[in-house]
Structure 1
Amino acid sequence: MLKGSVRQWTRKLAMSFGLAVSLFSAGTMAADEPFKVGFVYVGPIGDHGWSYQHDQGRLAVEKYFGDKVKTTYVENVPEGADAERVIRNLAKSGHDLIFTTSFGFMNATAKVAKQFPKVVFEHATGYKRSKNMGTYISNTYEGRYVSGYVAARMTKTGKIGYIASFPIPEVIRDINAVRLAMNKVNPDYELKILWVSTWFDPAKEADAANVMIDQGVDVILQHTDSPAAMKIAEQRGVFAVGQASDMSRFGPKAHLLSVVDSWGPYYIKTVQEVMDKTWKSEDFWGGMADGDIEIASMNPAIPKDVADEANALIDGIKSGKIHPFAGPIKNQQGELKVKEGEVLAHDVLAGMNWYVEGIEGSIPK
C-alpha cells in the first residue's frame, strides 16, 4: 500500500515536473520569437525610386537587429480596397508594427488600426493619427529646393520640366519648392508641369520626358519613381534630377543630382521604440538635418561656383538658417501667403493645395 502510494506520488510529481518543463519551454519559445515588422509598398521594390528606398530602409532594420526582428513586405499594392486587405492580413498574421508607405493607404491604415489596437501602425505622408497610428514623412521639399536652384543655374533654354504624379500636398509643396528656388535665380524661367496620374509607369514617364524635351525643356525633375525620365534625358542630351534614390547610373551624363530619401534611421528608431514600449503616436518630419534627406552624386559637369552655391544651400537648410518656405511668399494670384520673417509650419505644409507665384496652370482636381 505504501509502495503504491509512493509510486503514485512519484508519477504525479514527474507529470507535474514534465508539465512545468513544457510550460517553461513554451514560454521561452514565445519570448524568443522575433519582433515582426510589415511593410506595404505602392510600387515594386525594383522601381529604383520611392518603394526601392523604403525597402532599403527595411533591409537596414534587418541588418541592425539581426534575428531579433523578422520583416515582411508586400509590393505593388493598389491604393484602395486591396490595400485594406493587405494591411489587415499583416495585422492578423501577428505583425507587431506595420509601415504603410503611400499617401493613398491612409484611410485603409486608419480603418485597420481601429480593428487591431495592440498593433502599431505608421503611415507615410498622411495626416490621420490615433493612439496606435502615427504618421511620418521626409522633408523632400528641402531637396527639391536645392535641385530647383541647380536646375535654374544649369538650364540654357530657361525651361525646366516637372513630371508630377498625383495632386496631393506632398507633390504640390515639392513643385512649389522648385519654383521658389528658380525664382532666386530667374523668375522669368518657365516651369512646365506634366501630370501623369501614376507613381510608377516607365512608359508614361518616358513619354512625359519626351514631350517636355520636344517643348524645349533641358532639365527634367520628377515626382515619379522609375528612372525612365533619366534614361530619356541621357539619350537626348539634357539634364535630369533623380527621385528618391541615387539614379546617376541610369544617366551618367544627364544626371545632375539625386534627392535621396534615407528611411533606415527612422525605421530603426521606430522599431526600437515599439520594442521598448516607449513609442507614442506623432507626426514626424525628417529632413537634411536628420540625415533623412540627402543630395547624392552631383555631376562633375556642374561648375564649381554652382556646386558651391548648392552646398551652401544644403548647409543652410541643415543649420536652420535657410528654409524653402520662408516668407515673403505669394501665391500664383499674387496674394501674400507668407509674411517676411515667417515660415510655413508643418501643419500648413501638410495641407498645401495652392501654387506659388510663377507657376502657370491650375492644380488638377
Structure 2
Amino acid sequence: MTNHPIVFQSAAVANTLIAGVPCAVRAILVASRAGIIDLDQEVLLLVKGKWRDFERVHRDLERITPEAQMKWASVDSGTVDPAVRAIDGLECLRDPENVIPRNLAEFLLDDHFQDSVSASQTLVQASRRTIANTGKTTDGIVSRYINRPISQLISFHLLRFPGVRPIHATIAAGLIGVVMALCLFLGGQVGLLWGAVLFQFASVIDGVDGEIARATFRSSKLGATLDTAGDAATNFAFIAGVSFNLWMSGNVAAGQAGFAGLALLIIGLTVLGFLSIREGGALSFDALKHDARRTASPVLVALSTITSRDVYALFLAALILVGWAAPAMIFFAMAVTIWFLVAATMLGRRFFWSK
C-alpha cells in the first residue's frame, strides 16, 4: 500500500490543536485507523502556502506514533506534482470512511477546500468529539450525567492551550481539596457550607486530568496513581473536616460517627489500593466495582454505584447544604460499614474461599 499525501489548506489549519493535539497528527491517526494510510509507509504532509512551526506536529506525531515515517512540503514550493493524487486532511476528520483521493490541482481550485469558516467548524467539531470520547466505562450515574459534561467542557477549553498537561488538572484538584479542608477545619458553620460546595467541585475537576490524558495520549501508570491518591486525600480530608467541624460545634455523636466511618474507609481503601499495586496496575480502588459487575448481582451493582465517589460526593454535599450535616455523617458511617463488610466478604471469596 502506497500512501497518498495528506493536504491541508494552510499551516494554521494543520497546526491547530484538536483537543490538545495538532490537526495534522489527528488526521494521520484517524486515517490510519480507517485504513486510508499505512504508518509503516512514509506519510507526506502538504499545506497550501508556507508551513511554519512544524516542530510541534513532528514532536507530537513522534511521541504518539514513533514508528511513523513522515515528510512535509509546501504545495506552492513547486516540489510537488499538481497531478499527484492526495487526500483532504479535514475530510479524514469529518468522514474518514468516504475519503476519496483527488488530484492536488483540484484541491487548489475547490472553493470548499478554501472555505476557512467550514475548516474552523470542522476543527471545533472534531475537538468536541474527541473530548466526548474521554469518559470511562466505570463512571457512576452522577459522573456520567452531571460531572462529566461539566469537566469535559472545562477540558475542551483548557486543551486550546498548547502547554496544558494532565498534571496541571491534578494539581488544581489538589489545591481545591486544600482550600476545602481549610474551610471545614477553620471556617465554622459558613466553612461547612463552603467545604461542601468545594467537595462537589473537586469531584467535577477530578475528571479533567484523565480526560486531558486520554485526549492527548498521555495516560500513564504514574498519572493514574497520582490522580487516585489525590482523590483519596480529598475524600479523607472532607470526612475528617466535616466530623471535626460538627464535633467543635457541639454535635459530638455525629462527629464520632464520621471519624468511625472514616477509619473503616481508610482501612478498606488501603487494602484495595495495595491489591491493585500488587497485581501490577496503577493505584486503584475499583476492584470491588469490577467484581460486582462480573457477578451481575443487582445488589452488588447497586451498592458499588451508590458508594462511588461521584454519587456520595453530591449526596453528602447536598445534605450539608440543606442543613443536615449531622445526619449526613451518621448515614455515611452506616453506608461505609455495609460497604466494608461486603468488601471483606468479596475479598475473602477471591483470595481464600475460592482456593
TM-score (norm 1): 0.30
Question: Which one has a larger percent strand, Structure 1 or Structure 2?
Answer: 1
TM-score (norm 2): 0.30
Question: Which one has a larger percent helix, Structure 1 or Structure 2?
Answer: 2
